[in-house]
Structure 1
Amino acid sequence: MITQDKRLLGGVTGAVLLAAIGGFSVARCTADPSVASAPAKDSAESETPSDSLAMTPDAIRDAGIAVETVRAGGLGSEILVQGQVTASPTGEALVTARAGGAVTRVFKRLGDPVRAGEALAIVESRDAAQIAADRTAASARAVLAQKALARERYLFEQNVSARVDLERAEAEATAAEAEARRAQVSVGAANVTKDGRGVIVASPIAGRVTSENVSLGAYVQPEAELFRVADPSKIQVEAAINPGDVARLATGDHAIIELIDGRTVEGRIRAVTPTLNGETRAATALIEVPGGILQAGLGVRVRLMPSQGAPTNAIVVPEDAVQSVDGRDAVFLRTAQGFRAQFVTLGQRSAGRVEIVSGLKSGATVATRNAFLLKAELGKGAGEEE
């Protein structure tokens, strides 16, 4: 009996195993191989094209990827020159002492922020005391002259004094008033302190202290430079232009300033000097740029887009912007979600720049510096899909 039950149990078990194997075989034969082997993807990832990369602005910044808006104009219409960032005429001030004396107080140091009219130091000076005394004396003489004029006018009206005496009093009062105004202006120009013992060294502009040459107790000469204050928001770029290119440039022409780290800043030509520099034999183009981005004294490379250049539809980009994707030349266009690979046809090259003959439109924004990172990420994504 027991043997018969074991045979029955063995038969049932074999039937179950045979059914499972048969079902697995049927599933392999009927299932779509791509669905069976591919991992599940969410809907957002499945909608991303194979030539696109989704990247947030923070991720782009952390990766050091720079972008640039391209415009029509071939290599022949660009002028590539060297330039230097300088402070504009209203963006830097040399602060001097208006009178000689000893420095008694220093309020600001190198790098400190400064408001327009704010005191940087105080110089105690005998010259300041003399200027203050002259103002006081001139003011007293003006008051006395006004009183004398009032007395002579009364006497003239009473027919006691002659008209000549009245006219003499009027002239003396006018002269005394003029002398009082001159003394007051001298006090203001020297910026004399209220107690008249010294002069206030104040900044005429707002900005930061970029240079200081002052120490407590030191004697300074009149008009000696004590501080230098610069406003970082008021800067310009001075670019050296070959004489043959001056006629091609005009006020308002577009300019792109290239930094050492690969970043670019857009600007406009404000003016071009009509004469050449005696040492370099080159003209100077003054380019207005947004403040707060560049620092005075920085050397840069400038690409000028002259309005008189030969018209062309070719787009020019840095060579670093062009990458090889699937054996073809491509650039990475900036999109709302990140970047998209765009295949292009290249033209001539010069000075690290290359023309895009076709495949790219003016006004598009492309990745320049570290564009190879996008190529690597795109290749990695393609490898994962395979």
Structure 2
Amino acid sequence: MANGSFIAVVAFLAGGAFVALMPDVSTRLQRTVGIAPGNAPTQANGTSGQAAPKIPVVAMDDDRIKLAHIDLATVGPGMVAKRLAVPGTAIPDAGRVSHVSVKLSGTVAELRKNIGDDVTKGDVLAVLESREVADAKSEYLSARLANELQQDLTSRDKSLWEGRAVPEQQYIKSRNAAAQTEMRLNIARQKLLALGVEADEIAGLPQSPDASLRSQNVRAPVSGRLAERKVELGAAVGRDNLETELFVIVDLSRVWVELSVSSADLPQVREGQSVRVSARGLPETATGKIVFVSPLLDKETRTARVVAALDNTNGYWRPGSFVTAAIALSERDVGVVVPATAIQNVDGGKAIFVRNKDGFEKRSVVLGEQDGQSVEIVSGIAAGETIAVSNTFSLKAEFAKPRDED
């Protein structure tokens, strides 16, 4: 009985092979034996006779994206750098600190600005009363009057000499006297300028009341913020061991970041390199440039002083703050750069969520170098695609939910 079954199986297989090799056999008969064209048996790995797997998508329209606080961005090329992180301190720009001092003896009669006030170049900060400035102004007015009179006499003598009414010697003497009075006037004017009196104040002295002769305005030489006020109302200032510095004005629209770079790293640091500055507890970062690299090393720490200039128009960086500076040692352009917030760990790999017409699709990516909060993408997405760059954890959670099989 077993021999009969074996013979039947062999006959069936032989018949199937015969039918497959005969071109005139009908397709219907080939299908009967399971070898019809287009109906090949399905492979175990599912690569034949099976539709391509469907890409998982989280369906979200624009309103839902806005409600979920998901920000979008179009990816594109950028620059990444190899950076050296060093500690530092924000300090005022030394070229933007002004010490306001007096050049004469007197007392403080008025204080018109207080510490913390913003000042503009030319603003009156204080008013002094000084016998010295009163003497200098009086001397100037006297010299000015003498010069005017002598210039009139010289003009008259010149006219008389030209009319042969006076000898030439008289005109020469008058002309010499006019030159001397003019010289004295210029000396008196220069003395007032040296004491700190402005040119427009000097020009207005003849029309000023007598009481103003003893007053001296102390003006702001630069615009900025009043950082220090070193005198009080009624204080004596000036020479003879008295206080001469009244105010300190600092322009903080640009600050310096003073860095300490070790001797081992110093050969890689040079002027002109960009620096990314951050501080603990502060969400913002800023970018500046190195303006000075000291040729000397500190004897104790074996570090060099490096200074970077940083724009501070918004007043965000306060002098005295401790910061971390990442110096760009080398930079290169890459094809695709994304924010670090766009990347999530999914199934043991890195993924980015790409916006499409239906919502978001999960895209596995290969990362390159990271530069602060920017990351190079080696493969997985192309420049020009739109991705989610914030609150991406909510998308990761959506993809982690179980889904119905199609």
Report the TM-score range of the alignment, normalised by the length of the smaller protein.
Answer: 0.5 to 0.7
Q: Deviations over 1:54-103 (max 9, x none)?
A: 4278xx9xxxxxxxx995445xx323233333333553322223322211
Q: Distance in 2 between matches of 1:174 and 1:365?
A: 81
Residues 1:260 and 2:280 are matched in the alignment: yes
Counterpart selection for 1:291 from 313, 328, 335? 313
Native 8 Å contact 1:70 1:366 kept in 2? no
* Equivalent residue letter for 1:229: I
Residues 249 and 217 of structure 1, relative CA distance in 2, 3 Å threshold: same
Residues 1:303 and 2:320 are matched in the alignment: no
Residues 1:161 and 2:167 are matched in the alignment: yes
Q: Distance in 2 between matches of 1:363 and 1:203?
A: 53
* Equivalent residue letter for 1:127: E
Query: How many pairs are equivalent?
Result: 318
Q: Which runs of structure 2 are paired with 1:1-386 in the superposition (5 Å)? A: 43-44=61-62, 54-55=68-69, 71-73=78-80, 77-89=82-94, 91-157=96-162, 158=164, 160-163=166-169, 165-189=170-194, 190-191=196-197, 194=208, 195-222=212-239, 224-241=244-261, 245=266, 249-251=270-272, 253-269=273-289, 271-273=291-293, 275-276=295-296, 282-292=304-314, 293-306=316-329, 309=330, 324-329=345-350, 344-345=365-366, 358-359=378-379, 374=391, 376-382=393-399
Residues 169 and 340 of structure 1, relative CA distance in 2, 3 Å threshold: farther
Q: Deviations over 1:224-273 (max 9, x none)?
A: 2222222332334344455664675353x432111222534343426334
Q: Deviations over 1:141-168 (max 9, x none)?
A: 32233134224424533263344x5444
- Corresponding residue number in structure 1 for 2:36: none
Q: Distance in 2 between matches of 1:364 and 1:242?
A: 43
Q: Distance in 2 between matches of 1:143 and 1:232?
A: 48
Q: Distance in 2 between matches of 1:234 and 1:96?
A: 23
Residues 132 and 81 of structure 1, relative CA distance in 2, 3 Å threshold: same
* Equivalent residue letter for 2:86: V
Q: Distance in 2 between matches of 1:230 and 1:383?
A: 55
Q: Distance in 2 between matches of 1:152 and 1:85?
A: 69
Under a length normalisation based on structure 2, what TM-score does the superposition of the two structures give?
0.60
| Superposition CA RMSD, Å | 4.7
Q: Deviations over 1:249-306 (max 9, x none)?
A: 353x432111222534343426334643666752534324242232233332222224
Instruction: Provide the identity percentage.
Output: 22
Native 8 Å contact 2:258 2:305 kept in 1? no
Residues 95 and 246 of structure 1, relative CA distance in 2, 3 Å threshold: farther
* Equivalent residue letter for 1:86: I
* Equivalent residue letter for 1:187: L
Residues 43 and 72 of structure 1, relative CA distance in 2, 3 Å threshold: closer
- Corresponding residue number in structure 2 for 1:31: none
Native 8 Å contact 1:73 1:315 kept in 2? no
Residues 83 and 333 of structure 1, relative CA distance in 2, 3 Å threshold: farther
Residues 296 and 330 of structure 1, relative CA distance in 2, 3 Å threshold: farther
* Greater strand fraction, Structure 1 or Structure 2: 2
Residues 70 and 55 of structure 1, relative CA distance in 2, 3 Å threshold: farther
Q: Deviations over 1:113-162 (max 9, x none)?
A: 22221111111111221221121122123223313422442453326334
Native 8 Å contact 1:246 1:283 kept in 2? no
Native 8 Å contact 1:319 1:354 kept in 2? yes
Structure number with larger C-alpha Rg: 2
Residues 172 and 87 of structure 1, relative CA distance in 2, 3 Å threshold: farther
Native 8 Å contact 1:86 1:236 kept in 2? yes
* Equivalent residue letter for 1:55: H
- Secondary structure of the structure 1 residue equivalent to 2:213: coil
* Equivalent residue letter for 2:102: A
1:111 deviation in Å? 1.6
* Equivalent residue letter for 1:249: R
* Equivalent residue letter for 2:167: S
- Secondary structure of the structure 2 residue equivalent to 1:191: coil
Residues 213 and 303 of structure 1, relative CA distance in 2, 3 Å threshold: same
Q: Distance in 1 between matches of 2:385 and 2:322?
A: 28
Q: Which runs of 5+ in 2 are unaligned?
A: 1-58, 202-207
Residues 381 and 122 of structure 1, relative CA distance in 2, 3 Å threshold: farther
Native 8 Å contact 1:84 1:298 kept in 2? yes
